[in-house]
Amino acid sequence: MTPRIRLRPTMQSDSDFVVSLENDPANLPFITPWDRTQHEAAIRFPDMRHFVVEGGAGLEPVGFLILIGCRNPHQSIELKRMVIAAKGQGLGRAALRVAKRVAFDDLGAHRFWLDVKSRNLRAKALYDAEGFVMEGTLREAVRVATRSSSLPAGRESQAAQDFDSLHVLSMLKAEFLQRRADGLEAAA
Ligand SMILES: CC(C)(COP(=O)(O)OP(=O)(O)OC[C@H]1O[C@@H](n2cnc3c(N)ncnc32)[C@H](O)[C@@H]1OP(=O)(O)O)[C@@H](O)C(=O)NCCC(=O)NCCS
């Protein structure tokens, strides 16, 4: 059973939480962080939905996620970012299921998509398990931040040229409805 979570719209007063979670060393390798003003703009911009994920007994903030393209005429909505503080407890899966419902049921998505760095094995495993279909790979599409201090002397320039690939995955509305009919989209 997935843990109980809910999404609520992010408020400006959540900015410290969002920015600090994004800059946590446990998350930085897997995302390209935004600065505070980008998050604050995303909260206001009608094409985006910025949510705090609340969970646990007291429904305290446990993460955040961002949807973009919510008004796009192609009904193709992107899960731009999802970050969960306490990993491996099923909160990410639960949040992803709610995000699907928001995208398909509330926002009328025909296609719900995302990209994930190839080295992000945990997130990729989650998206695969949750029925997202691999569309392709953007090869060496993003620079990877590697702390030169953690490298042996003389390898700093090599780190500067370190790139990762992005896998693009998606789910179509018909696939989502089929999963729901098969009982694979159960809420907490
Ligand atoms: C990716 C993330 C959102 C997933 O949330 P989570 O709460 O940790 O994930 P869950 O506990 O729901 O795990 C779901 C699945 O992920 C997979 N998984 C979990 N930990 C894993 C690990 N260490 N390695 C590989 N797969 C793993 C499993 O398939 C798991 O399903 P299972 O419990 O049935 O085996 C979260 O780990 C996170 O914030 N990571 C850093 C930021 C990030 O990578 N965001 C996504 C960018 S695309």
The whole-number pLDDT of residue 155 equals: 58
Mutate to test the pocket of ligand 1, among 122, 130, 164, 167 (most ligand atoms within 8 A of CB): 122
Domains of the chain: 5-181 (3.40.630.30)
* Residue nearest (by alpha carbon) to ligand 1 atom 36: 84
Distance 34 CA to ligand 1 centre (A): 21
Closest C-alpha to 170, from 133, 120, 142, 118: 133
- Our answer on whether the CB atom of 129 is closer than 6 Å to any ligand 1 atom is yes
Average pLDDT over residues 8-12: 97
What residues contact residue 23 under an 8 Å CB cut-off, 6+ apart?
Answer: 33
Q: Is 123 in the pocket of ligand 1 (CB under 6 A)?
A: yes
* Tokens linked to 183: 């009982």
E-strand stretches of the chain: 5-9, 48-55, 60-68, 76-84, 111-117, 133-143, 163-172
CA distance 62 to 75: 29
pLDDT tens digits for range 30-59: 999 999 999 999 999 999 999 999 998 899
User: What's the alpha-carbon Rg for the chain, to the nearest Å?
Assistant: 17
Backbone angles phi, psi at 143, to 5 degrees: -75, 145
Q: What is the mean pLDDT of the chain?
A: 92
| 142 token code pair | 């993003």
* CA nearest neighbour of 122 among 26, 18, 9: 26
The pLDDT-based confidence of 122 (bands split at 50, 70, 90) is very high
Residue 25 DSSP class: T
Q: How far is CA 124 from CA 24, 56, 114, 155, in A?
A: 20, 24, 10, 29
